[in-house]
Structure 1
Amino acid sequence: MPDKPLRTTQSPTQPPTPTLSTSEEQQLRHYLQATLSDNTRKTYRSALLQFERAGGRLPCDRDSLVRYILVKAGELSTRSLDLHITAIRQWHQQQGLADPAADPMVQRTLEGVRRVHGRPPRKARALTLKQLGELLAAANAQEHPLRALRDRALLLIAFMGAFRRSELVAIRVEDIQFEADGMLIHLPRSKTDQDGQGLVRAIPAGSGSVCPAIALKEWLNATNIESGAVFRAMNRWGQLSEKPLNAASINELLKKLASSAGLENVPEFSSHSFRRGMSTAAARAGVSFELIRKQGGWRHDGTVRGYIEEGQQLQDNAAHTLLEEMQRLTNPRTTSTTDANHSGRHRDD
């Protein structure tokens, strides 16, 4: 998305700001662009392009924006439409222009669209440990041995490290520190660390074929990768590229392996299934909330609790006790005095 900084800013009570030189303007533009991640900037550019293809022109006014909302209502999801409006708002703000999206008419129109067309967001299905095992078996069964090694290491690290797909493809050999009891993966930057403070994801050692560290070492040794991207693209003949996997290809890889493994609901799996799956499986195994939150690098407690609650909504359920009690009451073999007393204690008056 183009960034054009405002050249002068002045008010009746302040002296005028000196006009920036060409080099200063370029430097300012560089820093303004750095306020958005590459992925966000690409998303905004795509939204602005769609706005222009629909007949919109930048800068725009309230009426043009309302007209665009009417065209896209029902065609785009409400979340996507909100994102488009955000992109248009950002463009105007970065040009130092009035924001047409702030107009009450625009906001009321959006609210109405949400009420009429709003739908729950589609969520990635959480991977279970059993399904992870089936995916590993499908990865091992692939025809090309290098692809099998890469995908096995990728699956284990993605799940146990609760990595986002952008983080996964950004891992470099230089970021990995092997230890006797596992490995540490240093992330110079992530979605929740846009300031580049860096964070570390620790992955303990496992045993045999389910050890992420062993799987990664086997992949690196087989390919002689000593620096640069760890998970690299590979053509149909198994020839390795110098370039890392594209983040979007993680979804395709997961769906392909899920289909080969015969899993159900394949379209519902995505790279986010690793993070949801890790949090859910860990909670079921009795891992504390704080350790789950730390492993996934989540900033907000509510996000983690939501994943855990969704993953355990059939296990942590008030109806469990009721179904057990109903089974006790309707089972003719339940004739012991203890059971009879138990039923009596719970019988409604």
Structure 2
Amino acid sequence: MNQTPSTTSSQLPSIQEEEALRQYLQAATAHNTRRAYRSAIRQFEKWGGRLPTNSDVLVRYLLANAARLNSRSLTLHVTAISQWHRYQELSDPAQSPLVRKTLEGIRRQHGRPKHKAKALRLEHIAAMAKHLQSSDTPSLKQQRDLALILSGFFGAFRRSELVSIQVEDLHWEPEGLIIRLPRSKTDQHGAGISRALPSGQPGACPCAAIRQWLDSSDIQRGPLFRPINRWGQIKDKAMPVGAINDLLKQLGLALNFDFVPDLSSHSLRRGLSTSAARANIDFELIKKQGGWKSDATVWEYIEEGRQLEDNAATPLMQEMSKWMSDTSG
């Protein structure tokens, strides 16, 4: 006689299995994404929403915040609420045609261009490097900042990548330095990425700047770029990511740049790509150095860097100038 198998204690997940499952599920979503989702849900709840919710409440939330929040922020909020319901295996209110139509209408009516960080040009990086090397005896902070600025620009690093570099990630070669990171924003599965920094001319060489910083700081392992307090003491931990934005703005103010509000850590990464485009460096080399996965992103940077050089108006203005010269004679 067949019997339906009953659930025994051995078939129930143990505490260790539940903890392992929780960790794997958490690892399936990037940390920054989880943080953004949590913030979005907190804002929804602060408005008066409760989870689980329904499409009528979600539409009311969109209407209440359409003029106040950027449409990209509202899209993120809807995605966060959608993911919460899916994770709980509940009906997803974000899939309602009314919610989707409302959000599309908000994008069309209130959409604003995405703010872009100012792309630093070579002359800006040169001015920063000269400023940091102006002293006969550069401080530890000046040496660290020089190594960080040159590495961030020529390596086209994201800020999260810069602060995560460990001394153990540095692999020195006769021709320069290879930095191998075990993980990055676009490498969530841990395949690892590499950035090559060739040796350059004195004053403009990230390899020499890193060497000098390591020698002066006596850092032998662990985070490469670390906080330094007002007394010149180096901390054991890595710099916070926000410190790079602060550093660039401080340097911009010191050098009287007129675009300080538009400076951020992304100014280094965008600066390398647009500067390389202006120098007519090959597309594949630009893509490789920045580790970009999308050709479209690289082309966007190239077009931005060469929008004045590769311009249909230039030959027309030259032709017009000749025509005016001929007729004036």
> TM-score normalised by the shorter chain: which range applies?
over 0.9
In the other structure, the counterpart of 2:115 is 122
Is 1:208 the counterpart of 2:208? The answer is no
In the other structure, the counterpart of 2:36 is 43
Is 1:170 the counterpart of 2:188? The answer is no
Q: Quote how far apart the aligned CAs of 1:184 are.
A: 0.3
Q: Secondary structure at the match of 2:64?
A: helix
Is 1:282 the counterpart of 2:276? The answer is yes
Q: Quote how far apart the aligned CAs of 1:134 are.
A: 1.1
**Contact between 1:89 and 1:100, CA under 8 Å: does it hold in 2?**
yes
2:141 maps to amino acid: R
1:283-322 residue pairs with structure 2 within 5 A?
283-322=277-316
1:34 and 1:217 map into 2 onto residues whose CA distance is 35
Cα distance, 1:58–1:276 mapped onto 2, change above 3 Å:
same
1:96 maps to amino acid: E
Is 1:30 the counterpart of 2:23? The answer is yes
**Contact between 2:180 and 2:192, CA under 8 Å: does it hold in 1?**
yes
In the other structure, the counterpart of 2:235 is 241
**Contact between 2:132 and 2:138, CA under 8 Å: does it hold in 1?**
no
1:171 and 1:334 map into 2 onto residues whose CA distance is 63
Cα distance, 1:168–1:333 mapped onto 2, change above 3 Å:
farther
Q: Secondary structure at the match of 1:114?
A: helix
2:298 maps to amino acid: V
**Number of equivalent positions:** 320
Could you tell me the percent identity over the aligned residues? 51
**Contact between 1:93 and 1:99, CA under 8 Å: does it hold in 2?**
yes
2:328 and 2:102 map into 1 onto residues whose CA distance is 61
Is 1:89 the counterpart of 2:82? The answer is yes
Q: Secondary structure at the match of 1:134?
A: helix
TM-score (norm 2): 0.92
For structure 2, the residue ranges without an aligned partner over 5 or more in a row are: 1-5
In the other structure, the counterpart of 2:263 is 269
Of 104-113 and 35-44, the range deviating more from structure 2: 35-44
Deviations 1:51-77 (A, max 9, x none): 111111111111221121122212111
TM-score (norm 1): 0.87
In the other structure, the counterpart of 2:3 is none
Q: Quote how far apart the aligned CAs of 1:213 are.
A: 0.5
1:156 maps to amino acid: L
Q: Quote how far apart the aligned CAs of 1:46 are.
A: 1.2
Of 168, 177, 184, the match for 1:183: 177
1:126-145 residue pairs with structure 2 within 5 A?
126-141=119-134, 145=139
Q: Secondary structure at the match of 1:178?
A: strand
For structure 1, the residue ranges without an aligned partner over 5 or more in a row are: 1-14, 336-349
Q: Quote how far apart the aligned CAs of 1:137 are.
A: 2.3
In the other structure, the counterpart of 2:141 is 147
1:99-118 residue pairs with structure 2 within 5 A?
99-118=92-111
